Amino acid sequence: MIRWACVCSGFLWCLGLADEIEALQATFGWKGGGIDRLRFFKERLGFEPRHVVDVGAHVGNWTRDAREVYPSADFLLIEANPEHADKLRATGERFEIALLTSQPRPKVVFHSTRCNVKTGASIFREQTPWYDYEICHQPLVLQSWTLDQVVQNSSSAGVACCDLVKADVQGAEIEVLRGGQRTLRNAQLVLLEASLLPYNEGAPRFSEPRQLSSVGTCLRNSSALWPRAGLKSWMSPMPPSPRSTLAL
Distance, CA of 158 to CA of 3 (rounded, Å): 21
pLDDT for the residue 225: 33
pLDDT digit string, tens, across residues 134-161: 778 888 999 999 999 999 998 676 666 7
Backbone angles phi, psi at 193, to 5 degrees: -100, 120
Residue 232 φ/ψ, nearest 5 degrees: -100, 115
Domain ranges of the chain: 4-246
Averaged pLDDT, 232-248: 32
Mean pLDDT of 176-185: 90
End-to-end, the C-alpha distance of the chain in Å comes to 19
Q: Determine the Cα–Cα distance for residues 150 and 161; give it in Å rounded to an integer.
A: 11
Q: Look at residue 228 in the predicted model and tell me its pLDDT.
A: 30
Determine which of 22-31, 184-193, 197-206 has the lowest per-residue pLDDT on average. 22-31
Provide CB contacts within 8 A for 111, sequence distance 6+: 121, 122, 123, 124, 125, 126, 131, 137, 138, 139, 140
- Per-residue pLDDT band at 85 (split at 50, 70, 90): very high
The 10 Å Cβ neighbour count of residue 233 is 15
Please, which pLDDT band fits residue 115 given cuts at 50, 70 and 90? confident
Average pLDDT of span 170-196: 85
Q: Say which DSSP state 228 is in.
A: T
**pLDDT for 100:** 97
Q: How confident is the model at residue 127 (pLDDT cuts 50, 70, 90)?
A: confident
pTM comes to 0.75
Percentage above 90 pLDDT, the chain: 33
Between 121 and 31, the higher pLDDT residue: 121
Amino acid identity, residue 132? D
Q: How many Cα atoms within 13 Å fall on the side-chain side of residue 142?
A: 21
pLDDT score at 236: 30
Query: What pLDDT does 72 receive?
Result: 95
Query: Tell me, what's the pLDDT at 186?
Result: 86
Q: For the residues of 137-206, what is the DSSP string, one character each?
A: EEEEEEEEE-HHHHHHHH-TTGGG--SEEEE--TT-HHHHHHT-HHHHHH-SEEEEE--SS--BTT---T
Binned at pLDDT 50, 70 and 90, residue 208 comes out as low
pLDDT given at position 209: 44
98 has a pLDDT exceeding 90: yes
Mean pLDDT, residues 223-245: 31
**pLDDT at 99 > cutoff 60:** yes
Backbone φ and ψ for 191, nearest 5 degrees, come out as -115, 115
